[in-house]
Amino acid sequence: MNQIKKQIENITGADRVHENESMANHTSFKAGGCADLLVEPADGSQLRDVLQLLAAGGTPHMVLGNGSNVLVRDGGYRGVIVKIGDAFNYIRICDENGNESADGTFIVCGAGTLMSRVAKAAASASLTGFEFASGIPGSIGGAVFMNAGAYDGETKNILKAAHLISADGSRQFTMTADELDMGYRHTILHETGDIVTEVVLKLERGKEEDIRALMAELADRRNCKQPVQYPSAGSFFKRPEGYFAGKLVQDAGCKGLTVGGAQVSQLHSGFVINTGDATATDIIQLKELVQARVMDKFGVMLEPEVRIIGEDPIETGDSAADPLDEYELAYDLHTHTTYSHGKGSIEDNVRVALEKGLEYVAISDHGPGHLFYGVNRSDFDNIRNDIDKMSIKYQSINVRNSIEANIIHASSSGRNSNGLDISPDEFGQFDFVIAGFHFGCLRCSSIRNWLWSHGFKAGEESLRRSNTKMICDALKLNDIAILTHPGDKGPFDISEIARTCAETDTLIEINGRHGHLDTEEIKEAARVEGLKFVISSDAHTPDAVGSYRTALQRAIDAGLDLKRIVNIRHR
């Protein structure tokens, strides 16, 4: 592989070739092993030369777009991933002859261009027909490859032509939708391996306000019915003839089914999601379990839409000592139950915490301001009563009553003047309060942050300042025990937030489910003297209570002095 690497570098330059590259950073599942090499050609010429080199040498390789429909097994990919990246990210509005024209009805775009970006460009040009794809999280090249579709629309209906390079890089050519034989989630490219480099779409004139209204309507439908806040590959299984995959999965009793960090979404059973620390193996095992249950009950074998590539991990056996085994979690202060959108009861969480040897566990369901899964204020007393019962029943573990309040912009007066969705008067109902930023609340720039997290980076710095002020104001105005998963769901100044946590004696969380603080954020926060950290599972299923290994590994990778983590101790 060293020789191939040098040959590729001669074509692209060394800065475009990456060795042992984690594919979790290049796929929408945010999971999976490493590729031996990943190369991102700077233009079509480099792409052709790289493909010719790999084909001539018989080197295993795969071309990757946005990675929204690919999962790499944990053993990694033994070969070269050729990524269609920024060089193929462009959009032009053209006339039928391919000339740029503001009045044109054709969109010419590079294969690496995100569909969301194409949709925005179409709306700005008052071109209708692409609205169905505005929320599909992939590139336009991948849309052609899979004949992507949603809401009764399909790519084949608007595709005039696709410009391609043959799999061996030897020729360039153009194909129409008919020539591509575009069917349900399939084209002949699956067999030929030829690569889309540029796409020409034929749209129609419309009214910009109508186009944007339809896009907004579809976005609302998608956000309400699909788990867009979690890493996934969209619909996991193809639709079997005569059935709907999601309904088969749900009717087979698989809704919410969990393997490790992978889960069949509670919101839409057609989605498999990464709840924060899923491995590719977790996802694949969950896939197989769902397939078996559906087959047993309905006699239908579900076929995944997701392309699964690479090798299974090598079994190391018990002889390979894991340094994480030297440590254990003393307590878990961030767990959820069915009072918000967790899967288990308070007692379920307590039992698991007891089994894992925790000294105490806190129940910290979402604050009432969350529009979708906030706890009802009318349940505050019920939660307290349930916790009191657990304290009597399980006397060998302390059970604490907390709440994960939602951080919002502080109002000038009234209940939310403290920048939280619980008032100062309500603090007394809990043993302590933790707080974090989430989508789904009013007065916290949810929409702007959601757009940012999905690639719309306009106004990033002003949003970063606003988010950071919102967090710091809440910390200064309240006695918050833990700031949960800072860095997640929007841009933040981690240094300033860390300083404020230190000043207010607030623990800053390394969250095992969300991936924040990530390694770089831990390094940044650790520069603040006196700041203390806490590891939390953020468990939404009972089996995840007390999980700490993923978060601890990030802390170790960041070089954090583990004595600064208040709930980690040597065994």
Q: Which residues are known catalytic residues?
A: 185, 235, 305
Instruction: Calculate the CA dihedral of residues 273, 277, 281, 286 and round it to 10 degrees.
Output: -40
Q: Which helix (H) or strand (E) holds 116?
A: helix 115-124
d(CA 235, CA 256): 15
Which of 69, 294, 264 lies closest to 185 in space, CA to CA?
Answer: 69
Which of 311, 394, 352 lies closest to 73 in space, CA to CA?
Answer: 311
Q: Is 501 helix (H, G, I), strand (E, B) or coil?
A: helix
Strand partners, 81: 38, 62
Q: What does 507-530 look like in DSSP terms, one character per residue?
A: EEEEETTT--S-HHHHHHHHTSTT
d(CA 381, CA 451): 37
Q: Write the single-letter amino acid at 328.
A: E
103 is written with which tokens? Answer: 């009045």
CB distance 504 to 515 below 8 Å: no
501 is written with which tokens? Answer: 């946590």
Ramachandran assignment for 185, one of left (phi > 0), alpha (psi -120 to 50 degrees), beta (any other): left
Long-range contacts of 20-23 (CB under 8 A, 24+ apart): 21/81, 23/67, 23/70, 23/72, 23/76, 23/77, 23/81, 23/310
Which of 353, 303, 369, 417 lies closest to 546 in space, CA to CA?
Answer: 353
Q: Is 489 helix (H, G, I), strand (E, B) or coil?
A: coil
d(CA 93, CA 386): 61
Sequence-distant (6+) residues with CB within 8 A of 395 are none
Q: SS in 3 state form for 47-87?
A: HHHHHHHHHHHCCCEEEECCCCCEEECCCCEEEEEEECCHH
Sequence-distant (6+) residues with CB within 8 A of 213 are none
Q: Judging by beta carbons within 10 Å of its beta carbon (0-12, 13-18, 19+), is residue 137 exposed, middle or buried?
A: buried
CB distance 248 to 300 below 8 Å: yes
147 is written with which tokens? Answer: 């004949």
Q: What is the residue whose two structure tokens read 């084209």?
A: 187
CB distance 486 to 522 below 8 Å: no
